[in-house]
Amino acid sequence: MTSVLTIILQRLGLGLVTLFVVSIVIFTAVNLLPGDFAEAILGQGATPEAVASIRRDLGLDQSPIVRYFQWLGNMVTGDLGTSFAQLNFQTNLGGGDLVGVAEQIAPRFANTMFLAGVTAAIAVPFAVGLGILAALFRNSAFDRATNITTLSSISSPEFFLAYILILFLAVLNPVLPSLSNIFQGMSFGERLEKTLLPALTLTLVVTAHMMRMTRAAIINLLASPYIEMARLKGISPMRVIVRHALPNALAPIINVIALNLAYLITGVVVVEVVFVYPGIGQLFVDSVKIRDIPVVQACCLIFAAAYILLNLTADILSILSNPRLRHPK
Amino acid sequence: MTRISRRGLLKTGAAAGVLAASGLPVRAQAKRGGRLRAGLSGANTSDSWDSRTHSDLFMIASAQGAVFDSLTEVKADGSLGGELATDWEASADAKTWTFNLRQGVTFHNGKAFGADDVIASLQMHVEEGAKSAAQPIVAAITEMKKMGEHQVQLTLEAGNADFPYLLSDYHILMFPAGQIDEAIQNGIGTGMYKVSSFEPGVRMVATRVDSHYKDGDAGWFDEIEYIAINDNTARMNALMTGQVDAINRIDFKTEALLRANPMIRIQEVTGNQQYTFPMLTNVAPFDDVNVRRALKFAINRQEMVDKILLGHGRVGNDTPIGPANQFFFENMEQTSYDPDKAKFYLKEAGLDSLDIDLSASNAAFEGAVDAAQLYQASAKQAGININVVQEPADGYWSNVWLKKPFCACYWSGRATEDWMFATAYEEGVPWNDTQWGREDSERFQDLLLEGRAELDTDKRREIYHEMQQILKDDGGVVLPMFANYVQAVANKVANPDVVGNLWQMDNGRMAERWWMS
């Protein structure tokens, strides 16, 4: 067990290093965005004096390296900073009562997690189940149909899938709301109903990957001697797959599931905008539009951390599910 | 009906008959009840109830349109009415203004409204370090005097006949004195709707107060819900699927789809929103009035309205005063496309042909580059070779506008003539994007000062008409079109015959003025 702990700690350390590298990339990329907050917020009023005064107030006139280390330093101490839009009007409020980026993001992030959770609850059993069935009836019409459908849904852009679903489930047969404006104080049932369309869209996007990996991993094992043994014992094909093949195919499946879960958190931007779902993705888009760099950077960092963490989990789970890795010689 | 302009409607006495015959809803049928759900753009996570920071529809409709009141209000027909001020009086030089305040009004937290609140609410725009777009309006007040619990006297540094109009600005809302920070936090105003939930950039819900001084005239809904939908397609979708009852700013390209839906109607008003091509009148060759005239005859305005606005607008006549202004010179002779006249003026300027650069970017307005190319094509017939320079969108307002001698530009217009001229046509003001000054027209600048302090409406009309004439003939701006405000409303929501054209969504006041049919 100690070796597992060591591995986990090692991986966490590596994750932190990755996050540090990512922070440099994020900072550089965000600073490469053309235009800045001062110009975005002033619009037509962007006279050189007004732009310079806002830049001075927000510290944008300092060198990028100074700004990077300030940001990094604050980030390490858990301070995500304050959005420019808030800072810009700080003097109106006499300097008090500012909402930090962390507080701004928290409710949005919770919403995104809810959407990811609902999607995962639908997509994972659905994809794994489909994968098992496809493996069971491999090369049948069912297998082909599943493959074609899931592959075409993963190949279509998300907004297209979203509009197709809206057309069929909200316009032609109004069963689900096309607007996912969830808010605090909504009952769980209502919230679920409003979240269903974006969740279904995301399900269509992530199913193919998981389903095909499940199918491939299982089929791969079906040629193994122990499966033949099980078949010779006279066990039903379904039981052979679920009881004998699946546990040994778990490692790659878990890996793919974790990757797709990470996608559910980081890849929701477009879907959230289409459905007006108040998650972190929409906040991200709004903030990029006005070049509100502290919010953009914090969102990016959260996306990166989610990706790294879920990959880490995938690695650890695949180690735990594999006795050979669990007890290395 | 929505295609008839407000002013056109008022002018023709027959209009009333037309409306009665068409069976459109009239005000008498307005009734209480229901919940208005509107999908609005222009929302941001950093939105707050601090009116000094407001700049886009979502907060304007929420604050001035529902939760807060101002001293004065521009009515749907463009006239000025009292909101928290009942009436006002000016000294003969239009310098000292006395406002009588409404009695018996309370804020949502129970505090009574009075003169102190007016003074505190005005002061917040000129506080040290405060950033407010209304700062210049309030800074012009040299003295604020409380004459009684319900009377204030404001003294201006110079006479301004439009002062009560300026106080209807959506930045200047009335907050409770001594509790301003709290009011900004929670949205405590004197409006017809009391905030029940506000998530910045997401949603605002407000419920009707039990009794209000506008009872019987406005405020028909029991509850309003404004949902932030910044994405055009998502907004249209929400209306099409019945998730909301009204949306602002519809995309012209998908307008036909909305029109095809029998449950929805399109509401369209022409206001002062204008797309322009300003030239710097102190830079050659634009310093020659004949070159400017040639350029005005070389543009095909109707084609611009048809192709750039897809018909949702009206041609402009090279003055920034639009149909939403009080003294709009509607019957002024229209400058139209005439290559021969353009050639004539070119000859007057001593030129056979003219080569100029026109800087454009879609940051100026949607379709600005296309508009510049249309201009290029039409001007070619008149011997004017326009070279369209496509500028980067980022930094357009700081690097191109006011700097390049001829460029594309956008103005939302102003509620009053003087305000518009003082912003962009008075000699020496920072946003004077044509460098229009005394050197160009001594008369214009004199009239500007004269009109500002003149209280007599007929004289003011004369003054402002003459100023529009001067700009049309000699001015440095080519103003080919006014762009309409186009919004869509579900048929279950009714609106009065006349919808405000100062801004989108009935001047942002649909919570007060519309009702469930």
pLDDT tens track for B24-47: 444 557 889 999 999 999 888 778
CA distance B459 to B467: 12
A219 has a pLDDT exceeding 70:
yes
Tell me if A87 sits within 8 A of A57, measured CB to CB.
yes
Residue B32, classed as helix, strand or coil, is coil
As a whole number, the mean pLDDT across chain B is: 89
Q: How confident is the model at residue A290 (pLDDT cuts 50, 70, 90)?
A: confident
Q: How confident is the model at residue A259 (pLDDT cuts 50, 70, 90)?
A: confident
| B429 touching chain A per CB within 8 A | no
| Mean pLDDT calculated for residue range B73-84 | 92
ipTM exceeding cut-off 0.90 for this assembly: no
pLDDT at B194: 96
pLDDT at B1: 35
| Mean pLDDT calculated for residue range A97-105 | 77
Residue B246 parent element (H or E): strand B246-247
Residues of chain A contacting residue B124, judged by C-beta atoms under 8 Å apart: 92
Are B45 and A85 within 8 A, CB to CB? yes
pLDDT at B27: 52
- Dihedral-angle region of residue B345 (phi above 0 means left; psi in -120 to 50 means alpha; beta otherwise): alpha
Residue A6: CB atoms within 10 Å: 10
**How far lies A312's CA from each of A155, A209, A301, in Å?**
27, 19, 16
- CATH architecture entry for A103-289: Orthogonal Bundle (1.10)
What residue segments make up the domains of chain A, in order of their start? 2-93, 103-289
A286 → closest Cβ in B45, B197, B241:
B45
Residues of chain A contacting residue B407, judged by C-beta atoms under 8 Å apart: none
As a whole number, the mean pLDDT across chain A is: 85
User: Cα angle vertex B109, ends B105, B113, to 5°?
Assistant: 30
Of A62 and A95, more confident:
A62
Q: How confident is the model at residue A277 (pLDDT cuts 50, 70, 90)?
A: very high
Residue contacts between A and B (CB atoms, under 8 Å): 122
The structure tokens listed for B448 are 């500007």
Of B147 and B254, more confident:
B147
User: Cα angle vertex B396, ends B395, B401, to 5°?
Assistant: 130
Chain B residue closest in CA terms to A295: B45
Of A94 and B421, more confident:
B421
Tell me if B363 sits within 8 A of B395, measured CB to CB.
no
Are B240 and A171 within 8 A, CB to CB? yes
Residue B513: CB atoms within 10 Å: 24
The structure tokens listed for A267 are 């890849």
Residue B480 parent element (H or E): strand B477-490
**B23 burial level (CB within 10 Å; 0-12, 13-18, 19+):** exposed
B241 → closest Cβ in A85, A97, A174:
A174
Q: State the pTM of this model.
A: 0.86
What are the start-end ranges of the E strands in B69-222?
Answer: 72-74, 80-82, 85-90, 96-101, 141-148, 151-156, 193-199, 203-208
